[in-house]
Each structure stands twice: as structure tokens, then as C-alpha cells.
Homo-oligomer: A and B are copies of this chain.
Amino acid sequence: MPEVHIIGAGETKFGELWDKSLRELAVEAGLKAIEDAGILSKDVGILYGSSSLAGTLNWQNDMGSLLADFSGIAASGIPAVRIESSTSSGASAVREAYLSIKSGEYEVAMVGGVEKMTDIYGSEIHDIVSTTLDREWEAFFGATAASMAAISARKYMKDFKVEKEALSMISVNDHANASLNPNAHYRNKITLDAAMNATLVAEPLNLMDCSPVSDGASALILASDKFAKSVGKDGIRIKGSAIAQDYLALHSRESIYTLKSTIQAARQAFEKSGTKASDISFAEIHDSYSIYGLMELEDLGFAPKGKAKDLVMENIGLNAPLPVNPSGGLKAKGNPMGATGVGQIVEGYLQIKGKAGERQIKNAHDGLFHSMSGSGSTSVVHIIGSE
């Protein structure tokens, strides 16, 4: 089977982008990725578009066709498919692109993740985001993404005697890193005190524990080792790619603070890549809510269960043994759902190439990228490294 390399990446700024439409954002990121790869758009074999809410919020389905159309690649007949898996849509699309190259049917696959979440009035966005929960058994009774995270947080904090401080440090770290990322939604640093005392959203989670409503797009170009070598871009390889599943509804899970899907996907990705947690030089994790950051560091294998607080309180900054979310993470870089999982790997590509500017990590080599849908129903883990 062919190996799969990342040969180009592109991204828009994340934020409240009133002056750009859904399609404009996606095409901006896509063209940057094609330019970065130094290929022609007709070299692309297939396009995977990812967006979770376009059908619900923007009333635009068939996003794959839309992006192929507006970018002009439809002129060459290059096929397009939309992948939708809630907040893991982008990472799932990267995995489908990876499989498409592994299958031998395509040499080059493009992934374009996009979300335009601010084209809506006020609090309706929470109802729209809750379409990614179990609509009939969770959302219908008033549950939102934040309230599900809050339920997990309360039990986690009680069972493991974790103080709010540890949750807040996830967000403090995100904002510190995002202050160095020109594409981040929020570029302000926050103090631990500010993070702990922000307005409550769903106790114990406050505004500084919750990722924002963002617009943005991210794109990647994946290629077979043969193609990558032919264009002199075979430096960064997807060493492991895995996806696993848990129940959609939180109430069906074995534990509400252990992410079984994350444990399984991580184990598979480590196995496939021949790496272990201690080989990873940095990680981008899915902290849509700060509590998930702690749970994930444990379930990915970076800390024992209930002990991520020690890692987080000590150091997860750019100079730490394991820098976490150098991009600024979901909290501060932003969380345009369909773009989020693609954007994590864009960050990985930049870090490993040494092109991450002011937020560059020293000796970035193997990185781990974790994305999940909703409160952890699907987890996708990629391990990417320089050869």
C-alpha cells in the first residue's frame, strides 16, 4: 500500500468573519494549500469537503459540489464528497482522504474544512450546535453541548478531587499560544484569575472554559509517497490514522469522563505508527470545553486517569516536555467545526516544517492530533511526523 504524505496546507483566519461567505472561506484556504503544495488544481484526484452545520445553519447541503464548483476544480471533473461527523468532521475527512490514497485509486487528495457559524442571530446557535447531540434523547430535553460537558466536569472534579484551577489552565495555555498565532480567533492572553472568574455558562464551566463560535476554513493536500517524491514534498508523513466510536448519547456511555473512543483511536494510531506517547513532541487536542482537555490528555496516554491536572499545572506551554495546542487550541484559535480537525493538522504541518513563526516549538518532530465529535462519540487520532 502507498504511504501518505502531507504536501501542502492553507488556512484562513478564524474569527467573526462578517465579510466572507461560506464558499469564499473554503476556497481561500483551498487555494492557499494548492499554492503551498506547488501543484496545479487539476493534479487533485478527489476533494473531501467537511462541514458539520452548513445544512442546518447556512441551508447549504452538498458542500462537496459547492466547493468543487466555486474553486473551479469541477471543470476537470474532479469528484467531491462531503464528510459530516459533528466537530470531528474535519479529522474524519482527513482520514477518508488518507484511505482514498491508501486504496490506490488516487494519488492526490484535497481536504477542505469550513464552517460559517456567525451568520445567525443570538443564542439560536446553541440549538443548532445541539443537532450534533442525540436530538431526540438529549437536545429535545434542553441539553446543549456545554451542559453535557458540565455534567462530565462535575463528576470528574468530584471523583478525582480536581479544582477548577486545572480546567482553567487549559484555557490560559490556549490563549497564551494563540497570542502568537496571527490566524487565531482570540489573540489576548488571559490570567488564571480571569479564567476562573468569568461569567458562568453551565456550572462549573464559564465563558473561558468554552470554545467560541467561529468562522474559518482549513485545507490540506495529501499525496502518495510516489507523487510527493515526484514534486520534492515527501518530508511529512501520516504515520498513523485511526478512528473509533462510542455511544452518541452521554447517558449510554460506560463512564461520562472516560473517552472510550479516544482510548481506542489512540491505541490504534500508536500501533500503526510504531510510536508511543513518549515519542510525541507536541499535541493538538480537542478542548472544545476545558474539561475535555484534561480527559483527553489522560485517555490519549499522556497522563494517568485523574492526573492530567499535574501535567497541566506544571507546564504544557511551548517549552514544556509536551507542548499542548501550540496553535491556541479550540478555545483561542477557535472552533469553526468543519475546519477544526483539519486546522489541527495544518498546525502540525507548520510546526514540523519549522514554519510556525513566533509559536514555533523547538525540535518539533512527531505530533499527535486528536479530534472528536460532540461529547466524544467519535474520536479521530492522527500521528504525523517528519521522515
Interfacial chain B residues near A99, Cβ < 8 Å: 96, 99-100, 103, 105
Main SS class of interface, A: mixed
Complex: A99 Cα to B4 Cα, angstroms: 15
Interfacial chain B residues near A245, Cβ < 8 Å: 65, 68, 73-74, 77-80
- Of the candidate stretches A247-255, A343-351, A357-365, the one touching chain B is A247-255
In the complex, the answer to whether B81 meets A85 with C-beta atoms within 8 Å is yes
In the complex, the answer to whether A59 meets B131 with C-beta atoms within 8 Å is yes
Q: Given the interface contacts A244-B77, A244-B79, does A84 sit within 8 Å of B62 by beta carbon?
A: yes
> Distance in Å from the Cβ of A372 to the closest Cβ of chain B?
10
Interfacial chain B residues near A53, Cβ < 8 Å: 55, 61
A33 within 8 A of B: no
Complex: A264 Cα to B246 Cα, angstroms: 39
A377 within 8 A of B: yes
- Of the candidate stretches A132-140, A189-197, A285-293, A305-313, the one touching chain B is A132-140
In the complex, the answer to whether A136 meets B21 with C-beta atoms within 8 Å is yes
> In the complex, which of the residues B21, B61, B78, B248 contacts A65, with contact meaning CB atoms closer than 8 Å?
B248
A386 within 8 A of B: no
Complex: A102 Cα to B104 Cα, angstroms: 8
> Distance in Å from the Cβ of A115 to the closest Cβ of chain B?
12
In the complex, the answer to whether A264 meets B103 with C-beta atoms within 8 Å is no
Complex interface residues of chain A between 1 and 43 (CB less than 8 A to chain B): 1, 21, 23
A58 within 8 A of B: yes
Interface centre among A77, A134, A243 (most CB of B within 10 A): A77
In the complex, the answer to whether A260 meets B135 with C-beta atoms within 8 Å is no
In the complex, the answer to whether B62 meets A56 with C-beta atoms within 8 Å is no
Complex: A92 Cα to B62 Cα, angstroms: 11
In the complex, the answer to whether A80 meets B131 with C-beta atoms within 8 Å is no
Q: Which residue of B lies closest to A127 (CB)?
A: B59
A52 within 8 A of B: yes
A64 within 8 A of B: yes
Residues on A lying within 8 angstroms of B by beta carbon are 1, 21, 23, 46, 52-53, 55-56, 58-66, 68-69, 73-75, 77-86, 92, 95-96, 99-100, 102-105, 131-132, 134-136, 139, 243-249, 252, 260-261, 264, 373-374, 377-378
In the complex, the answer to whether B96 meets A81 with C-beta atoms within 8 Å is yes
> In the complex, which of the residues B61, B84, B244 contacts A86, with contact meaning CB atoms closer than 8 Å?
B61
Complex: A55 Cα to B259 Cα, angstroms: 25
Query: Nearest 3 CB-CB pairs, A to B?
Result: A102-B103, A65-B377, A55-B55
Interface centre among A60, A63, A64, A86 (most CB of B within 10 A): A64
> Distance in Å from the Cβ of A61 to the closest Cβ of chain B?
4
Complex: A42 Cα to B293 Cα, angstroms: 30
Complex: A64 Cα to B378 Cα, angstroms: 9
> Distance in Å from the Cβ of A331 to the closest Cβ of chain B?
22
Interfacial chain B residues near A78, Cβ < 8 Å: 245
Interfacial chain B residues near A84, Cβ < 8 Å: 55, 61-64, 82-84
